[in-house]
């Protein structure tokens, strides 16, 4: 099974540059320092013109190899952290969830 963390329904202005990194940690009781979590991807929204239109986007990142490296296959909980890198103003994250997606077989 492949595991993915989709970031559901980000809302932000189309006139904004937004960037944040996604990190995974397997131990919610004994959190690692930021430099010890596993980086799994970056969300970026580029400036799209003059308007102030609201954009709704989604983002998926595969985490199967990270879960294997963390030996967290049997864990009930993994911590997903979004680390803002660039941007101003409000960005609304509609939710984060882990989905198990069957591997495609040739």
Domain positions in the chain are: 2-100
Structure tokens belonging to residue 41: 């991807």
End-to-end alpha carbon distance in the chain? 14
Residue 22: what pLDDT? 87
Judge contact between 80 and 96, C-beta under 8 A.
yes
Residue 61: what pLDDT? 83
**Cα separations in angstroms, 72 against 67, 69, 75, 104:** 5, 8, 5, 22
Divide the 106 residues of the chain into consecutive groups of 10 and give the mean pLDDT of each group: 50 67 74 70 76 73 84 81 78 78 66
Residue 1: what pLDDT? 44
Residue 101: what pLDDT? 73
Report H helices in 19-99: 64-69
From the number of C-beta atoms within 10 Å of its C-beta (0-12, 13-18, 19+), residue 18 rates as buried
3-class DSSP assignment, residue 20: strand
Residue 9: what pLDDT? 47
Backbone angles phi, psi at 38, to 5 degrees: -95, 120
Residue 48: what pLDDT? 65
Residue 94: what pLDDT? 79
Cα–Cα distance between 3 and 52 in angstroms, integer? 35
């Amino acid at each position: 099974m492949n595991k993915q963390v989709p970031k559901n329904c980000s809302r932000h202005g189309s006139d904004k540059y937004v960037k944040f990194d996604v990190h995974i940690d397997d131990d919610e009781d004994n959190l690692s320092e930021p430099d010890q979590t596993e980086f799994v991807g970056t969300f970026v929204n580029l400036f799209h013109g003059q308007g102030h239109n609201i954009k709704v986007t989604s983002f998926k990142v595969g985490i199967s190899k990270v879960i294997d490296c963390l030996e967290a296959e049997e864990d009930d909980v993994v911590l997903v952290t979004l680390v803002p890198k660039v941007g101003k103003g409000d960005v609304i994250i509609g939710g984060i969830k882990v989905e198990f997606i069957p591997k495609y077989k040739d």
